[in-house]
Structure 1
Amino acid sequence: MKVELYFLGTGAGMPSKERNVTSVMLGLLAERGVYWMFDCGEGTQHQVLRAPVKIGKLEKLFITHLHGDHLYGLPGLMSSRSYQGGDTPFTIYGPKGIREFVETSLRISDSHLGYQTTIIELEPEEQVVFEDDQFVVSAAPLVHRIESFGYRIVEKPQKGRLDAERLKSLGIAFGPLFGKIKNGEDVELPDGTKLKAEEFIGPMIPGRIVTILGDTQPCVHAVTLSKDADVLVHEATFAEHRKELAVMYDHSTAIDAAKTAQEAGVGTLILTHISSRYQGEEADMLRDEARTVHGDTLLAHDHFRFEIRSSRQR
């Protein structure tokens, strides 16, 4: 089943002609029929107009921190969600202060939403913020000028594949017995032969792991949240020769991001939150620097999409 990242904005601080400010969508249409969004910088709903995503199908929004380039698009997005058929419950996760921001913005602008909204403010510690029978989402604080979080999205393991060919070779026709064995039930054939379900079902298939970090300097939680992730989305605001600026403003260089990915055993590293000082081919320098440490590195751009393959697909 297809899980996809879609980058609506990949810039840092201020929008530029090439990059809007930060927002990324996690497409879970096959699994849940919805999208999850991470951050919502100014102009995000305009980016949606040029993207194959629908605000009406937005189920959850995870805010990493309360700087404007990650937040200012939220009131408009929430209002537009009503107009675009969004009538299902909507949940917002973020640092303390997100509730006041949302409620004040909607009250002062006299905005009325046609759906139920739940706002969950995070504690400054490692925590599970959401779990159901499909996914677990955990969060942990990072190191930035203000409280900033990273999120780890883990898909729960899926049942192994049924060995249908082997069952057919035993003379078992497709039907109720197939379903029972697939559900893990042992069965007995008319001739008394007993079949153990575990012998006809492959091993559990590990779920996908996606890590999306907010603005941060290199830190322990950046590594723990990223451990063995299939894909890590990490800011790369500066090139390495601007390291002093990264330290001054509590950001990361592309090399910092690559070192985190390498230490955590990440599959693919995707760089985002690119300073407007890096335009056009200059931004490629960030990717090239990161690849000297972590070879499987990509540089995101606005409307860049990346399919996260399951271990079965790989």
Structure 2
Amino acid sequence: MELEFLGTGAGMPSKERNTSSLAMKLYEERGTIWLFDCGEAAQHQILHTAIKPRKIEKVFITHLHGDHIFGLPGLLSSRSFLGGEEQTPLTLYGPSGLKEWVQFTLELTKTHLNYPIQYVDVKEGVIFEDDQFIVTAKELEHVIPCYGYRIEQKPLPGELYIEKAMKLGVPKGPLLGKLKNGEDVELDDGTIVYSKEVTGPPKKGFVITVLGDTRYCKQSIELSQNADIVIHEATFDHATSHLAKDYGHSTNVEAAKVAKEANAKHLILNHISARFLPHETGKLIKEAKTIFPNIFVANDFSAFQWKNGKLNELHP
């Protein structure tokens, strides 16, 4: 799994930061991309990456402020021009009103899409589940309804002990794959080889928490409980904490408190105000590290990889 930040600014674009959008690349897991928020010019940012819009399977919108949704109609429209049989079905998740806004915008502009969109009106609780993932939403504390998302990968098959399986008579080929996936198999002579006999214990999947705009609140901590990565807004710093509360936002220190109290492993600060110049991001990290040690600040096009239980920064 990889995370690539397409926009990391707050409120409006600046020379250094576009408005909010994050791509979760699930190529190895399911061959698709999940997008979190779609601020203005998100599709322009995508042009500078290897992301293929036709591979976007789901878009999760945290709330209906413009810096989180104004790029959505353009992206949906451009995705139609790509065509092809490989177009991935698309589902949009978001607060009440998202479907009406998207459909009205497309209708008013006479925009025709050559693919269907499924809409999910987000409420607290489980909003998606299949055999690989479960996504849970909670309403945060912002000035309009705003949600955070907890993405949990279900346990992965344990290690297959190939030599042990072959000693039991399992030939090379698809039967080994079935055993790894937890299926028992029957050999040509009628012998049953049980998966549990030739595989290790299931491996823990990753947990990623993506939080929308929010004040420091218990819901953020609940969504972030024992998460491998927490992505938390840090619109303000400790010196401007009074502004954070007034405008329904958080500081870098409050984000660190959430990560610490949730027993998370890593924290990525996002949604950075334009008041902080590039050379000041080090100060944001240093201040937050007094509370929580494992911190990164996301910049536009920052990329991170989660592999084998470790977070690697691919591009700062």
Tell me whether the two structures share a fold, i.e. TM-score over 0.5.
yes
Q: Which residue of 2 aligns with 1:29?
A: 27
Structure 1 residue 313, shift from structure 2 partner: 9.8
1:88 touches 1:116 (CA, 8 Å); kept in 2? no
Structure 1 residue 278, shift from structure 2 partner: 0.4
CA distance in 2, matches of 1:198, 1:128: 30
Identity %: 46
Q: Which residue of 1 aligns with 2:204?
A: 206
1:157 touches 1:205 (CA, 8 Å); kept in 2? yes
Structure 1 residue 216, shift from structure 2 partner: 0.4
How is 1:277-296 mapped onto 2 (pairs within 5 angstroms)? Answer: 277-296=275-294
Structure 1 residue 180, shift from structure 2 partner: 5.8
CA distance in 2, matches of 1:180, 1:309: 23
Q: Which residue of 2 aligns with 1:240?
A: 238
Q: Which residue of 1 aligns with 2:222?
A: 224
Pick aligned residue for 1:132 from 130, 138, 142: 130
Map Cα deviations across residues 99-155 of structure 1 (whole Å, 9 max, x no partner): 1210111111110001001121123xx211111111111111000000000001111
Q: Which residue of 2 aligns with 1:12?
A: 10
1:231 touches 1:308 (CA, 8 Å); kept in 2? no
How is 1:243-254 mapped onto 2 (pairs within 5 angstroms)? Answer: 243-254=241-252
CA distance in 2, matches of 1:303, 1:8: 5
How is 1:263-302 mapped onto 2 (pairs within 5 angstroms)? Answer: 263-302=261-300
1:180 touches 1:187 (CA, 8 Å); kept in 2? no
Q: Which residue of 2 aligns with 1:146?
A: 144
Pairwise CA RMSD: 2.3
2:168 touches 2:193 (CA, 8 Å); kept in 1? no
Structure 1 residue 281, shift from structure 2 partner: 1.1
1:208 touches 1:309 (CA, 8 Å); kept in 2? no
Q: How many residues align?
A: 308
- The answer for unaligned runs of 5 or more in structure 2 is none
CA distance in 2, matches of 1:104, 1:14: 23
Map Cα deviations across residues 184-217 of structure 1 (whole Å, 9 max, x no partner): 4276897x99865423210111111111000001
TM-score (norm 2): 0.91
> Structure 1: which amino acid aligns with 2:132?
Q
Q: Which residue of 2 aligns with 1:305?
A: 303
TM-score (norm 1): 0.91
CA distance in 2, matches of 1:34, 1:173: 33
CA distance in 1, matches of 2:74, 2:176: 50
- The answer for unaligned runs of 5 or more in structure 1 is none
